[in-house]
Amino acid sequence: MKRIWMATLLAGLGGSLALAAQPLIVYSAQGYDRAVVNAFVKATGIPAELVDSSTGPLIARVEAQKQHPQWGVVWFDGAEAMRALADQGLLLKHFEPKVQWNALGRDVVPADGAYVPVSATFAGILVVNTKVIAPAQIPTTWKDLLKPEYRGLVGMNNPAISGPTYPLVAGLFQSLGGTKAGKAYFEALKKNGLHVYDTNGVTLRALFSGAIGIAIVQSSAGVGALLKHEPVKLIYPNPVSLLPGDIGIDAQASPQVISEAKKFVDFVMSKAGQRVMQTGDPGGDSNFYPIVQGENPKVGVTPVQGIHFQKVDPLIWGPKESAINTWFTNNIVH
């Protein structure tokens, strides 16, 4: 009987230890995510496992797992997509880390605490190859891109795949006065020879090769190109759209996973976490604007002062993302 009791006890302990060893699953589309996850594990002792992909596939994966989520944290750029997930009841609400937001941070914190903004960039700027476009011919406005001299020279990402690109599209729709005007603008861009690629990296490779002369990409990617001494000039048309990098927590997760996920957010927002973010992807996502007081962007990141930017309302444009992305794929990509 004693041996049976001991075997039962050990089996129970084994199950508890197995439960305790379950890693926090982090779905992420950030360039520095592996460095951050590794640093989090080292700092806290909490096991974590990264699933890294582009934003579009990650969102599709989260939605496909509605009934049985296999993630604890999801992290990508774009409040619109986070709002869409929150509206489906997939994200934990009413959580906000104990930090002091700066002006950019206060602008992007959701009222219901359904996700946590942890960084900011701009959804789309113009990165101009100065070997293709002469200095006197560099465009300065969104409307300039429709001019005949830029025919076939403009490229951008596909918003159905690239996380930063739907906020760019939604921002242009918003600044132009709505969906009808926005669609007309992109149709005109297509008629002028617009190229559409999957992600920032592919679009920038086309730019550097001279296949295009102007890339519309996330500001962090543009700054990365400049820091690598590529022959580029960065243009911030009026307006560019503020793009928060957001973290969501699985609403259906166990109390243990939710606790670990909150600790992950706390680490990301800490000085140590912010340092890892600023060093983990120096040619891309590390070139962000911190949104908590006391933190500064990397040297080389364009000062935010003087940039005319807008906030894209996720409550309006989040629910429209699927329909607009489908329209873009059917009418602009194809």
The reply to whether 77 and 30 lie within a common domain is yes
The reply to whether 230 and 136 lie within a common domain is yes
Phi, psi of 24 (to 5 degrees): -75, 120
Residues 6 or more apart in contact with residue 39 via CB below 8 angstroms: 267, 272, 273, 276
pLDDT (0 to 100) of residue 21: 65
Phi, psi of 218 (to 5 degrees): -60, 145
87, 256 contact by CB (below 8 A): no
Q: Is residue 308 included in any domain, yes or no?
A: no
The reply to whether 144 and 283 lie within a common domain is no
The reply to whether 215 and 327 lie within a common domain is yes
The reply to whether 9 and 139 lie within a common domain is no
| Gap between the Cα atoms of 59 and 293, Å rounded | 30
214-253 burial, b at 16+ Cβ within 10 Å, e below that, comes to: bbbbbbbbbbbbbbeebebeebbbebbbbbbbbbbbbbeb
Q: Which token pair is 145?
A: 């891109």
The reply to whether 248 and 236 lie within a common domain is no
Q: What is the CATH number of the domain that holds 190?
A: 3.40.190.10
Q: Is residue 311 included in any domain, yes or no?
A: no
The reply to whether 129 and 190 lie within a common domain is yes
Q: Is residue 306 included in any domain, yes or no?
A: no
Least Cα distance to 108 among 92, 119, 99 occurs for 119
Q: Which portions of the chain are predicted below pLDDT 70?
A: 1-21
Phi, psi of 108 (to 5 degrees): -120, 5
The reply to whether 177 and 279 lie within a common domain is no
Q: Is residue 305 included in any domain, yes or no?
A: no
Q: Is residue 72 included in any domain, yes or no?
A: yes
The reply to whether 133 and 74 lie within a common domain is no
Give the torsion through C-alpha atoms of 28, 34, 35, 40, to 10 deg. 70
Least Cα distance to 28 among 163, 157, 130 occurs for 163
| Gap between the Cα atoms of 35 and 267, Å rounded | 12
What number of CA atoms fall less than 13 Å from residue 52's CA on the CB side? 10
The reply to whether 153 and 85 lie within a common domain is no
The reply to whether 328 and 211 lie within a common domain is yes
The reply to whether 224 and 329 lie within a common domain is yes
CB atoms within 10 A of CB 325: 20
Angle at 248 between CA 285 and CA 327, to 5 degrees: 75
Number of structural domains in the chain? 2
Q: Is residue 112 included in any domain, yes or no?
A: yes
Q: Is residue 276 included in any domain, yes or no?
A: yes
Q: Is residue 60 included in any domain, yes or no?
A: yes
- For residue 172, give its domain range: 125-241+317-333
| Gap between the Cα atoms of 45 and 285, Å rounded | 26
pLDDT (0 to 100) of residue 15: 44
- What is the DSSP-derived secondary structure letter of residue 75? E
